[in-house]
Chains A and B, each alone.
Chain A
Amino acid sequence: MIETLKKDKTVRWIILGFLALAITGNFMEAWVQNNIMFGLARGLAVLGLMVLWRTGLISFGHALYFGIGAYAVGLVDRNLGISDIFLRLIFAVGASAFVGFLLGFILRKYRGIFFAMLNLAFSMVLYGILVKVESLGSTDGFSVSQTTILGWAPENKYALFAAIVIACAIGAVLVQCYLKTALGSLTTAIRDNELRVEYLGFSVARAIHVKYVMSAGLAGASGALLAMALGQVDPDSMVNWPVSGELVFITVMAGPGSVIAPFLGGVVFEFLRTYAFELAPEAWQLIVGGTLLGIIFFLPMGLWSLLERIWKRRGVSS
């Protein structure tokens, strides 16, 4: 296993790339660092969605797990006073993966638009509940105390930035490993033809269930990291349907080409929005929507395919 990992080009790129990012992060302008941090944190959820998408499934409701992760961090902070990043992540991933595991029994039977919409329904039920619960601050949400790392309370955001970079690297490597396993390599096969996969002796439902739990856990981790980076949880920016839409948006923008793509997409999205807000406070949606349209039109395999094309061309000429 370790040997194959070493040989895997993507894994090497992930480690090198994230290492470079972690080092340079310290020298970045605060706002750049911050945008990258948010983008990467969102990228984790997108990574999960990408695995599902390769199977031909897309979820319009992963804000459910994103929100569970975020609120898990908020709740363990408020009720148990847990501020350690690892413990927070464990609770968040555990809670979201557990819910994903339960709902997975229902959802694994669904495909296409029904899968997408049932996810949406579940996420909106959670949204409806959270808005009603006054002790959780209703729509205002509540704040999350500062995150510590093994008892150390860092003075600036860089420590959290580095931790998020590392968490994303670990997530990317794990997913890459999974995709290389037998079950993982069925991913695209399931999309192309489920019956054939069944004939090969694999349970499609089970394979989808595993991927679903994985994507739920990743979305939970993503929500947890974002809650820690923001210092605040609230239903409208964590659980409401536009959050799910945004995640799908980034998934498509990034493209399914590589496990690195989601992080690239997340960061690009964050910068796109920042500049759209700044340049056109009255019409930023126009810029965001136009970009989405443009990408789907000219780059249906996402930004990653653009990079691949550039690399290939360079490879040929040199």
Chain B
Amino acid sequence: MLAQVLTIILDGLNYASFLFIVSVGLTIVFGVLKILNVAHGAFYAWGAYAAAYAITQASELGYPDWIGFLLIFAASIIVGLVLGSIIERLILRKMYAQDEVLIALATFGLFLVLEDIILVVFGVDPYFAYQPMAVLGNVVIGGVFRDVYSLTLFALAVVVAVGCWWALTKTKWGKLIAVVIYDREISQAMGINVSAVYLIVFIVGAMLGALGGAYVAPTTSVAPGFGIDVIVLSFAVVVIGGMGSIPGALIGSVMVGVLRAIAVHQFPELELFVVFAVMAGVLIIRPEGLFAPPKARTI
């Protein structure tokens, strides 16, 4: 019994870490830029492809397996920098005045385009970059073999959460961002370079999305359509937690992760809609999500 509870909790936290890493970038971008970025799913897919490609290449060239960890981070940084800056500068920048729904749709268009570019660049054959997962092996916890790699995913989620919290509350940049979130026009008038803040936040969001994909890549098959499900899933998490809130994304991930694990273990037939049932339930009780940041109402 105890073993099973432990297993459910670990499975839940494992899935929660995955959810948190893929949704934290989305919530940051929404919090600052007020954009519901559907193309986040494309960043996720690009990160996964870039990492998987690099890892398989490195493996063929005979590099040791642990090099994969460096490649994962390198891939996410490069993907985030390149795609993030291109998209923010060339497209989103010209749209901030538009309706938020229009921007969301524009990012949907971007998502479709980026998805197909993946097909052109990487082809349709799946990539397997299992080396980093294989090299870490497994341990027995609660009578069940667990892979160490998933446990490092948990550690990564903690690092990302703490890092975001520290960057936003303890650094000068974090304070600037808080000001920009509160009132864009006034911060501009005060001499804050809002445009630079937007660019940097968007790039960071893109990097986090790519990191999610890159870190997940070794555990799975990286194939076309990799980013599609992640969009809706991360939306759900972010909405549950309150859009734009990092603690919200954390709590949202843990809630969904653990409830899903309970469903898989006890009521497998409910697995498919547990995420959305939680989302509907939370929204009915707390319309703005669990941790919605305060918003000024315009009269």
Contacts and interface: CB of A to CB of B under 8 A. Distances in A.
B63 interface: no
Interface string B252-291: 0000000000000000010011011101100110011100
A241 interface: yes
Nearest to B116: A286
Contacts of B112: 285-286, 288-290, 292
Contacts of A282: 119
A106 B272 contact: no
A252 to B, nearest CB: 5
Interface stretch (A35-43, A119-127, A167-175): A119-127
Given A128-B273, A292-B108, A58 B280 contact: no
A286 B112 CA distance: 6
Contacts of A106: 284
Contacts of A286: 112-113, 116-117
Contact of B105 (A121, A252, A283): A252
A122 B282 CA distance: 12
Contact of B283 (A112, A117, A129): A117
B98 A300 contact: yes
A114 B101 contact: no
Interface centre among A116, A121, A248 (most CB of B within 10 A): A121
Contact of A118 (B98, B106, B283): B283
A225 B107 CA distance: 30
Contacts of B113: 285-286, 289-290, 293
Given A109-B287, A121-B279, A132 B102 contact: no
Contacts of A283: 116, 119-120
A195 interface: yes
B126 interface: no
A131 B234 CA distance: 21
Main secondary structure of the interface of B (DSSP, over half): helix
B153 interface: no
A118 B273 contact: no
A166 to B, nearest CB: 31
Given A117-B283, A124-B232, A296 B109 contact: yes
Interface string A178-213: 000000000000000101000000000000000000
Contact of B91 (A116, A292, A293): A293
A124 B287 contact: no
A112 B273 contact: no
A106 B288 CA distance: 13
Nearest to B297: A195
B287 A114 contact: yes
Interface string A299-311: 0100000000000
A249 B102 CA distance: 9
Interface in A94-122: 106, 109-110, 112-114, 116-118, 120-122
Nearest to B281: A121
A131 B232 CA distance: 17
Contacts of A117: 235-236, 239, 279, 283
A245 interface: yes
A290 B111 CA distance: 10
A196 to B, nearest CB: 9
Contact of A132 (B269, B275, B299): B269
Given A131-B272, A283-B120, A292-B105, 17 more contacts: A53-B101, A110-B283, A114-B288, A124-B273, A125-B276, A125-B277, A128-B272, A128-B277, A195-B299, A252-B105, A285-B112, A285-B113, A285-B115, A290-B112, A293-B91, A293-B109, A296-B95
Interface of B: 30, 36, 91, 94-95, 98, 100-102, 104-106, 108-113, 115-117, 119-120, 232, 235-236, 239, 243, 269, 272-273, 275-277, 279-280, 283-284, 287-289, 299
Please give me the 3 A-B residue pairs with the lowest Cβ-Cβ distance, nearest first. Answer: A128-B273, A289-B112, A292-B109
Interface of A: 53, 58, 106, 109-110, 112-114, 116-118, 120-122, 124-125, 127-129, 131-132, 193, 195, 241, 245, 248-249, 252, 282-283, 285-286, 288-293, 296-297, 300
22 contacts: A112-B100, A113-B100, A114-B243, A117-B239, A120-B276, A121-B276, A124-B276, A125-B273, A127-B273, A131-B272, A252-B102, A252-B105, A286-B117, A288-B112, A290-B112, A292-B108, A292-B109, A293-B106, A293-B110, A296-B98, A296-B102, A296-B105
